[in-house]
């Protein structure tokens, strides 16, 4: 049962969630991984979506699942192929973590505590648990947290995807579109404006860009000259060296 907000009857809280779900039925995003309960496919979508725009993720997720349709297939793939396939999604360590997680699941099955998998934090674990395994847990990403805090309502796991979409399209970080929000009438934050959150530094000219450029050279069969970037990639297991030759891991 969904917990009631202090001072509010449970049926009132349910009515708020029903308004949200009605809005979601009409305005929710049509994302392909929302049409499956396969924990592997959902894990891939969650890992790819970390710090990458969904418009870029959708075709890459589809291509990934075509190449490695099961977690066992990914587990058996060479790490070098995984890194190559990941190019363009950024934060390449995610690819290796996903590969290691696949190998762990292929060998021992899905753990009860999904945070035991490499690269899987609390949110990703809860998202897979909710969307794939149907566990009664609400995944708290920035959008879910924002809507929950601003409205003061305790939503159930059934509203997770609706909260994500509302936070993405309507309950925006700085200037929410309260006039388009189905929850505005009951929202204590209606009409408020918010300070911008601290943004990550620009990619252009950053060390992250240098690392990405060095890795692209290795993927293309060239030898990068940026020794500092190569050393960082070696530490993360994304490349290996044999003397002066830099290559992808086997």
Tell me which residues are annotated as active site: 46
Percentage helix, strand, coil for the chain under 3-state DSSP, each rounded to 5: 55, 0, 40
CA distance 30 to 188: 30
DSSP state for residue 200 in the 8-state scheme: P
Residue corresponding to tokens 């099955």: 109
Cα–Cα distance for residue pair 55/170, rounded to 1 Å: 18
The DSSP secondary structure of 52-120, one letter per residue, reads S-HHHHHHHHHHHHHH--SHHHHHHS-HHHHHHHHTTSS-THHHHHHHHHHHHHHHH---SSGGGSTT-
- Going by C-beta distance under 8 Å and a sequence separation of 6 or more, which residues neighbour residue 110? 39
- Confirm if 171 and 143 have CB atoms less than 8 A apart: yes
Nearest partner of 49 among 100, 98, 83, judged by Cα: 98
Find out whether 10 and 4 touch, Cβ atoms under 8 Å: yes
Length of the chain: 250
């Amino acid at each position: 049962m969904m917990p009631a907000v202090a001072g509010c009857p449970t049926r009132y809280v349910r009515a708020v969630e029903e308004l949200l779900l009605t809005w979601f039925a009409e305005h929710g995003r049509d994302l392909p991984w929302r049409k499956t309960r396969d924990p592997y496919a959902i894990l891939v979508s969650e890992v790819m979506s970390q710090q990458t725009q969904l418009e870029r993720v959708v075709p890459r997720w589809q291509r990934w699942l075509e190449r490695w349709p099961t977690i066992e297939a990914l587990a058996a793939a060479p790490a070098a192929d995984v890194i190559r396939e990941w190019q363009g999604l950024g934060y390449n360590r995610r690819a290796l973590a996903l590969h290691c997680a696949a190998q762990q699941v292929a060998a021992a099955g899905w753990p009860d505590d999904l945070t035991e998998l490499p690269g899987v934090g609390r949110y990703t674990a809860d998202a897979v648990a909710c969307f794939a395994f149907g566990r009664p847990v609400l995944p708290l990403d920035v959008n879910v947290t924002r809507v929950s805090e601003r409205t003061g309502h305790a939503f159930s796991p059934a509203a997770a995807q609706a909260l994500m979409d509302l936070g993405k399209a309507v309950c925006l970080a700085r200037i929410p579109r309260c006039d388009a929000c189905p929850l505005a009438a009951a929202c204590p934050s209606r009409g408020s404006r918010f300070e911008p959150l601290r943004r990550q530094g620009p990619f252009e000219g950053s060390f992250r860009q240098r690392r990405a450029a060095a890795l692209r050279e290795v993927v293309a069969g060239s030898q990068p000259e940026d020794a500092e970037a190569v050393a960082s990639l070696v530490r993360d297991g994304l490349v290996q060296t044999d003397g002066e030759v830099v290559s992808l891991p086997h």
